[in-house]
């Protein structure tokens, strides 16, 4: 049996994960992590195949690396298998599909222009709190249509949700009260009465009134617009700006050719995947390298490692905006592939375009990484623009 004895959720591993990911990949196609009682798939081919074979790798027993959340979160979109999953996904995907987003694109672009004008006047700013957070927090919270109290707390609830999806360490335990608060908020009568009628959250309840999903699932589906939509996009934006700062020649290429922006975003999400991985449970016995793994085993699918697998990518550690990185697994793959990726790309593209017209070079100060059980990126990212 291939085993690797690491705590993937300890501070030092979270801050420096890539050496561990490579060691796991090199050990074999499936590696047992005794500290977490998890089987880990870290190579590209195996992770992609597992995401495709959803009948064998089920999400319906939770996608976290701990039992507390896995027993509480059942019935969410992300923790439901097809065919039930298809019904929920169809409803939440409505406003997030690329054509449905076209009408809100101009408002996002205008907001990005206003933001970047302001940052250019400041000249020095924090790339996370003053820049990357702005569009997700202002635009997204408004179009979801939650009453004010919810909008003020969204960031805290969102990052707690990801902390709780890792192992139940101190970070995971500290996240639990915040998640319970989010749950109470999404089921509270005042919240439901205060939803804006033209917002995405209200549309979920109308879908339930039409019989497309059961009413009891609506609070969990409202959370689909809150928990996964903020930090993911914010951290991806921060990592992209950091990479542009570290590799000015890559920024120069993007700045002089806007058609490279889409590829640069994919490349940043490949290289610095905001979500390191989620879990699945096997529904039959599996065999890797002649090692039989019984049905019912929990597997950690490490998207962030697959995205740096040297078996798949040439020079995987190089940031190359001209690389064709479209088949990275940073948004997942298969039936649960990120339903919000068009919105995330729209927000990040608007920001990069606004910078491209004004900034010749991003000068980086000393950044501070966020320590979250599942997410990767920066908590602070000082930038001066030239």
Among 66, 167, 233, 239, binds ligand HEM (CB under 6 A): 233
Taking the C-alpha atoms of residue 126 and residue 169, their distance in angstroms, rounded to an integer, is 30
Short-list 143, 121, 109, 142, CA closest to 261: 109
Q: Identify the burial level of 262 via C-beta atoms within 10 angstroms of its C-beta, where 0-12 means exposed, 13-18 middle and 19 or more buried.
A: middle
What x-and-dash track marks residues 134-153 binding ligand HEM by CB under 6 A?
Answer: --------------------
Our finding on whether 166 is near ligand HEM (CB under 6 A) is no
Our finding on whether 229 is near ligand HEM (CB under 6 A) is yes
Our finding on whether 172 is near ligand HEM (CB under 6 A) is no
Q: Identify the burial level of 84 via C-beta atoms within 10 angstroms of its C-beta, where 0-12 means exposed, 13-18 middle and 19 or more buried.
A: middle
Our finding on whether 232 is near ligand HEM (CB under 6 A) is yes
Among 25, 43, 89, 376, binds ligand HEM (CB under 6 A): 89
Structure tokens at 364: 């980086």
Residues 6+ apart with CB under 8 A from 106: none
Least Å distance between CB 7 and ligand HEM?
Answer: 22
User: 60 or 120, CB closer to ligand HEM?
Assistant: 60
Q: Identify the burial level of 27 via C-beta atoms within 10 angstroms of its C-beta, where 0-12 means exposed, 13-18 middle and 19 or more buried.
A: middle
User: 50 or 116, CB closer to ligand HEM?
Assistant: 50
Among 166, 228, 367, 382, binds ligand HEM (CB under 6 A): 228
Among 78, 261, 268, 354, binds ligand HEM (CB under 6 A): 78
> Whose CB is nearest to ligand HEM?
340
- The answer to whether the CB of 304 falls within 8 A of the CB of 17 is yes
Taking the C-alpha atoms of residue 296 and residue 207, their distance in angstroms, rounded to an integer, is 34
Among 4, 54, 57, 278, binds ligand HEM (CB under 6 A): 278
- The answer to whether the CB of 160 falls within 8 A of the CB of 73 is no
Binding site for ligand HEM (CB under 6 A): 59, 63, 77-78, 89, 92, 96, 224-225, 228-229, 232-233, 236, 269, 274-275, 278, 303, 330-332, 336, 338-341, 343-344
């Amino acid at each position: 049996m291939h085993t690797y004895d690491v705590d993937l959720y300890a501070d030092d591993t979270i801050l420096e994960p890539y050496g561990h990911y490579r060691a796991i990949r090199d050990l074999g196609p499936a590696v047992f992590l005794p500290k977490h009682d998890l089987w880990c798939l870290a190579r590209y081919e195996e992770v992609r195949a597992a995401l495709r074979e959803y009948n064998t790798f089920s999400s319906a027993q939770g996608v976290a690396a701990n039992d507390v959340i896995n027993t509480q979160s059942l019935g969410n979109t992300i923790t439901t298998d097809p065919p039930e999953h298809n019904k929920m996904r169809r409803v939440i995907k409505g406003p997030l599909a690329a054509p449905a987003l076209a009408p809100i694109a101009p408002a996002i672009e205008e907001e990005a222009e206003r933001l970047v004008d302001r940052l250019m006047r400041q000249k020095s700013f924090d790339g996370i709190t003053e820049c990357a957070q702005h569009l997700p927090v202002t635009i997204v919270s408004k179009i979801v249509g939650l009453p004010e109290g919810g909008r003020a707390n969204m960031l805290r609830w969102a990052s707690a949700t990801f902390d709780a999806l890792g192992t139940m360490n101190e970070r995971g335990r500290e996240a639990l009260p915040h998640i319970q608060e989010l749950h109470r908020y999404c089921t509270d009568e005042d919240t439901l009465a205060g939803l804006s009628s033209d917002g995405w959250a209200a549309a979920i309840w109308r879908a339930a009134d039409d019989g497309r999903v059961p009413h009891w699932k609506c609070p969990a589906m409202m959370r689909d617009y809150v928990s996964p939509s903020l930090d993911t996009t914010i951290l991806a934006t921060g990592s992209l700006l950091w990479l542009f700062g570290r590799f000015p020649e890559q920024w120069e290429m993007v700045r002089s050719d806007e058609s490279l922006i889409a590829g640069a975003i994919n490349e940043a999400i490949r290289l610095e995947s905001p979500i390191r991985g989620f879990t699945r449970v096997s529904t039959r016995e599996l065999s890797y390298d002649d090692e039989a793994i019984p049905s019912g085993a929990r597997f950690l699918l490490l998207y962030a490692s697959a995205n740096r697998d040297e078996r798949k990518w040439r020079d995987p550690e190089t940031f190359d905006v001209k690389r064709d990185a479209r088949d990275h697994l940073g948004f997942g793959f298969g039936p649960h592939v990120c339903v919000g990726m068009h919105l995330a790309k729209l927000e990040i593209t608007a920001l990069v375009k606004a910078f491209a017209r004004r900034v010749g070079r991003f000068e980086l100060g000393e950044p501070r990484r966020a320590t979250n059980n599942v997410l990767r990126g920066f908590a602070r990212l000082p930038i001066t623009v030239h």
